[in-house]
């Protein structure tokens, strides 16, 4: 049985002797090849956890390991299979070209120059930067700089990749490129990816699993589908009928919003009979039915409900 790609056990971090706990007894296990969304509001403990995992910050207690190697006691082995794009920093040298950066970081991670060059050529080609490889990164657009940062994180072909806000500040096209890259890394190359972002549609699209941290503790850690289904409201429906100028007569608890083509009716039914009665009522009013669906919460709604719940004692 392979070791977990990422394992965090009872991790706590307190800044200073009397400061509050930034991370409070967090545990997390991520199997190889999975993509996990690590979410939380600002100040929840995400960055602290990530930096401990990357060996950039020491924990007050608890352990963190990458591929079975403790990030403190077996740092060299842990870092040999790890690459990261960290949020809020340049990640690469803007005074150097993308080519120079990739060679530099490749050799820094222990690759021979020839191996770093071969890998850099492939990454820059895949990311559409090959033609501009000798230009200084400082002159690139934000999206191109982020691509170089991602390429630098991937230069040693790490098995475990941490991407902290990889699409922050990117335009639609660049975001799509990064999303496609993450998907390819996970699906085609079997990489383990820990993804943090506030763009929850990206998480919903890419992550097998979602862990949400709030006030230094995990409030949930579930497969994405399971999490969404837990928040699915089985008795809430959305019914679309043809838009009419006349007002629609509805039972209590239902609301109607008239659009250009459809009137959207939403509300809660007690049971199937209530639903049939509503449909009959609409048919009786001469409103052609366009669609009927259970309301499915998206990850953003789930996330907000998780982080806005009253804090546990």
Partner 1 sequence: MTTMLSVPALASPGWANAFGNEVGKGMRELVAGWRAVLAEMITFPVFYLLIVMFMGRGKLLEELLVPVLIGLVGLAFIHEQINRVFWSYLGDLQSGVLEQTYLTPLPSAVVVLGRQVAAVIGALPVVAALLATGFVAVTVQGGMFPFEPAVLVPAAAIVVGTCGLALVLCGLTLVFKRIESITQASVAVYAIIGGTLVPLSALPDPVAAASRALIPVAPGIEAARAMLLDSATLTDLGTVWGLGWLLLQPILLTAAGVVVFNRLERVAKSRGTLGRY
**Cα–Cα distance list, 294 to 71, 204, 223, 232, 239 (Å):** 46, 19, 21, 8, 9
Minimum Å gap between C-beta 36 and partner 1 is 16
Find out whether 165 and 196 touch, Cβ atoms under 8 Å: yes
Minimum Å gap between C-beta 214 and partner 1 is 20
Minimum Å gap between C-beta 224 and partner 1 is 24
DSSP class of 90:
-
Q: Which is nearer to partner 1, 37 or 158 (CB)?
A: 158
Distance CA(117)–CA(169), nearest Å, equals 29
Residues near partner 1, by CB under 8 A: 1-3, 5, 15-16, 32, 48, 51, 54-58, 67-69, 75-77, 79-84, 86, 88-96, 100, 104-105, 107-113, 115, 152, 156-160
Minimum Å gap between C-beta 26 and partner 1 is 16
Q: Which is nearer to partner 1, 5 or 265 (CB)?
A: 5
DSSP class of 188:
T
Q: Which is nearer to partner 1, 107 or 198 (CB)?
A: 107
Distance CA(93)–CA(137), nearest Å, equals 7
Q: Which is nearer to partner 1, 48 or 146 (CB)?
A: 48
Angle between helices 142-154 and 98-108 (to 10 degrees): 30
Find out whether 32 and 5 touch, Cβ atoms under 8 Å: yes
Minimum Å gap between C-beta 292 and partner 1 is 48
Q: Which is nearer to partner 1, 6 or 299 (CB)?
A: 6
């Amino acid at each position: 049985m392979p070791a977990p790609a990422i394992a965090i056990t009872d991790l706590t971090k307190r800044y200073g002797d009397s400061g509050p706990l930034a991370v409070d007894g967090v545990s997390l296990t991520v199997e190889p090849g999975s993509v996990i969304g690590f979410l939380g509001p600002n100040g929840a403990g995400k960055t602290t956890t990530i930096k401990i995992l990357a060996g950039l910050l020491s924990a007050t207690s608890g352990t963190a390991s990458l591929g079975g190697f403790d990030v403190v006691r077996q740092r060299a082995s842990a870092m040999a299979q790890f690459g990261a794009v960290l949020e809020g920093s340049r990640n690469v040298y803007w005074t150097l070209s993308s080519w120079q950066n990739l060679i530099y970081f490749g050799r820094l991670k222990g690759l021979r120059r020839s191996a770093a060059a071969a890998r850099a050529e492939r990454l820059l080609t895949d990311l559409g930067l090959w033609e501009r490889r000798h230009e200084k990164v400082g002159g690139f657009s934000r999206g191109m700089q982020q691509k170089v940062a991602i390429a630098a994180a991937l230069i040693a072909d790490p098995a475990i990749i941490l991407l902290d806000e990889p699409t922050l500040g990117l335009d639609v096209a660049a975001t799509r490129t990064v999303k496609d890259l993450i998907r390819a890394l996970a699906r085609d190359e079997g990489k383990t990816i820990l993804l943090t972002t506030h763009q929850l549609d990206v998480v919903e699209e890419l992550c097998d699993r979602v862990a949400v941290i709030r006030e230094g503790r995990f409030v949930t850690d579930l497969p994405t589908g399971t999490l969404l289904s837990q928040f699915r409201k089985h008795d809430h429906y959305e019914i679309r009928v043809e838009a009419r100028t006349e007002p629609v007569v509805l039972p209590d608890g239902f609301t109607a919003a008239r659009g250009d083509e459809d009137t959207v009716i939403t509300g809660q039914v007690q049971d199937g009979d209530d639903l049939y009665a509503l449909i009959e009522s609409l048919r009786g009013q001469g409103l052609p039915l366009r669609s009927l669906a259970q309301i499915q919460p998206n990850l953003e709604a789930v996330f907000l409900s998780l982080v806005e719940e009253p804090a546990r004692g």
